[in-house]
Amino acid sequence: MLTVEGLSIRFGGITALDGVGFRVDEGGLVGLIGPNGAGKTTLFNCLTRRYTPDAGRVTYRGDDLLKAPPHAIAARGIARTFQNLGLFRELSVLDNVLIGAHHHGRAGFVTAGLRLSRVRREERRLRAAAEELLARLDLADLAGHPAAGLPFGTLKRVELARALAARPRLLLLDEPVNGLSHAEVEAFAATLREVRRDFALTMVVVEHHMGFVMGVCDRVVCLNFGRKIAEGAPEEVQHDPAVVEAYLGTAA
């Protein structure tokens, strides 16, 4: 279970998060919604230790995450995707996915430097796992293609594959369907349901696309100006007057 309690962070005069708390049960899928600037990405950045909050507590499976150094987050079974894609454009699709898997490599620098047979075996194991993941996400034909030049919808799937290569238990997705066509959103939702089931994932998904949020999430948390303004079942939150007002206020 992921538990977030009283999370607060300020940047100069801006309060990006103000006492935010919620829980994600093991195997649960929580949608994090809210207008632009509500604090959603900042929350992810606190969970993955990119930012250190001014106050609050984050525990995952009983572990105090705020005490973990940023580089130890992946080893705790947590992976994320990025709104603007965390891919290396010049590298192939397969190499991007292998980078996502690298923390699983057990060989240290010295043995890696000596190219011992164990290292080569491990490389083969990681490569086979990455290729299997690409096949699952319909990306096998593109394994050798550089990320640069691929359509945006495909890159979003590569980004998902890169995060899954770390074999996370907790997956944080930042706007995974932003910029996708209607058909691509449907396909991504179907893929996400499958990988959620097959990899027994717990997930938090930041997304503005309401149809997607309603279709894949069990629960929804809505932030506005760094505060939690609603939490509950998707339809409940969608029709919550405070949520409607927060979104209308943005559109006006």
Ligand X SMILES: Nc1ncnc2c1ncn2[C@@H]1O[C@H](COP(=O)(O)OP(=O)(O)OP(=O)(O)O)[C@@H](O)[C@H]1O
Residue 237 in contact with ligand X, rule: CB under 6 A: no
For ligand X, which stretch binds (CB under 6 A), given 40-48, 68-76, 100-108, 112-120? Answer: 40-48
User: Which of 50, 124 has the CB closer to ligand X?
Assistant: 50
- Strand-by-strand arrangement of the 14-24 sheet: 14-24, 2-11, 55-60, 63-64
Q: Rounded to the nearest whole angstrom, what is the least distance from the CB of residue 24 to ligand X in the complex?
A: 18
Upper half-sphere CA count for residue 99 (Cβ side, 13 Å): 14
What's the closest the beta carbon of residue 173 comes to ligand X, in angstroms? 13
251 binds ligand X (CB under 6 A): no
Rounded CA separation 119/97 (Å): 18
Q: How would DSSP label each residue in the chain?
A: -EEEEEEEEEETTEEEEEEEEEEE-TT-EEEEE-STTSSHHHHHHHHTTSS--SEEEEEETTEEGGGS-GGGTGGGTEEE--TT----TTSBHHHHHHHHHGGG----HHHHHHT-HHHHHHHHHHHHHHHHHHHHTT-GGGTTSBSTTS-HHHHHHHHHHHHHTT--SEEEEESTTTT--HHHHHHHHHHHHHHHHHTT-EEEEE-S-HHHHHHH-SEEEEEETTEEEEEESHHHHHT-HHHHHHHHHHH-
Give the shortest CB-127-to-ligand X separation in angstroms. 34
Q: Structure tokens of 163? A: 């995060």
Of these, 42, 81, 96, 154, which contacts ligand X (CB under 6 A)?
A: 42
Can residue 40 be called a binding residue for ligand X (CB under 6 A)? Answer: yes
Using the rule CB under 6 A, which residue among 19, 37, 77, 215 binds ligand X?
37
**33 or 93: whose CB is closer to ligand X?**
33
**Region from 39-47, 53-61, 72-80, 238-246 binding ligand X, contact rule CB under 6 A:** 39-47
Instruction: Give least dist CB 155 to ligand X, A.
Output: 18
Applying the rule CB under 6 A, the residues between 7 and 26 that interact with ligand X are: 11, 14, 16
36 touches ligand X (CB under 6 A): yes
State in angstroms the smallest separation of the CB of 243 from ligand X.
14
**Of the two residues 14 and 135, which places its CB atom closer to ligand X in the complex?**
14
53 binds ligand X (CB under 6 A): no
x/- mask, ligand X, residues 57-86, rule CB under 6 A, reads ------------------------------
Q: How many residues bind ligand X (CB under 6 A)?
A: 11
Is residue 34 involved in binding ligand X (CB under 6 A)?
A: yes
CA-CA distance, 243 to 56, in Å (whole number)? Answer: 24
Summarize as ranges the residues that interact with ligand X (CB under 6 A).
11, 14, 16, 34, 36-42
